[in-house]
Amino acid sequence: MRGVRYTKTKKFWTKSFMSWAESLALDDEVDTIVFRHKFAAVRRQLEDLERIDREIDEVVASRPELAAMVARLTCVHGIGRVTAFSLVAEVYDFGRFRRGSALASYLGLVPSESSSGERVARGGITKLGNSHLRRLLVEAAGCYGAGANVARAQRTDVSPAVAAKAAMCRDRLLRRRQALRERGVPANKAKVAIARELAEWVYHIMVMPG
């Protein structure tokens, strides 16, 4: 804005950045008023997100079955607490789907088809079903991009079998994303492809015993 840049660190939205932004005064008083108004709106949104995070923690902590499901989901690379809670809240019984592809279809992550005689043409994803969860999984798929940080602390809140399955998911999707990149597949199309397969891995992780 008006050529003003934050240069103290390379990271934004840190305490240092927030302090700098709160005290920022631009040359034009009107610009300063507008900036502070917009920044205050961002602060309110961040505070809302923090409140939501606390509420999720309280609900999950009070219900062991939810805690177990969220723990499984957050083992999966790219899936954080909010996405995990959203999946549990919207789907809950993953076993009601017969297979992983059925969950992907529920999320609208399967290719559309048009048929004419013996000819079958595949198009983009259907975008039918639960659009909120579809968006969350596509965002999660972005974590498998170049330079992804795949380090994970050892989990004690899930079984070794679940942790191993989540590690297999991570390794498989990282390889798949690299293969798509080498083929020159556009980034957005690649993210959707990863999200579709991620949905199937989520299904298997949630219905597996142990």
Which of 18-32, 123-137, 157-171, 193-207 is least confident? 123-137
pLDDT digits (tens, 9 = 90+) for 114-128: 444 454 344 455 566
pLDDT of residue 121: 40
* Letter string b/e over residues 41-72, b meaning 16 or more CB atoms within 10 A of that residue's CB: eeeeeeeeeeeeeeebeeebeeeeebbebbbb
Confidence band of 172 (pLDDT split at 50, 70, 90): very high
- State the angle between helix axes of 29-62 and 81-90 in degrees (0 to 180), rounded to the nearest 10: 60
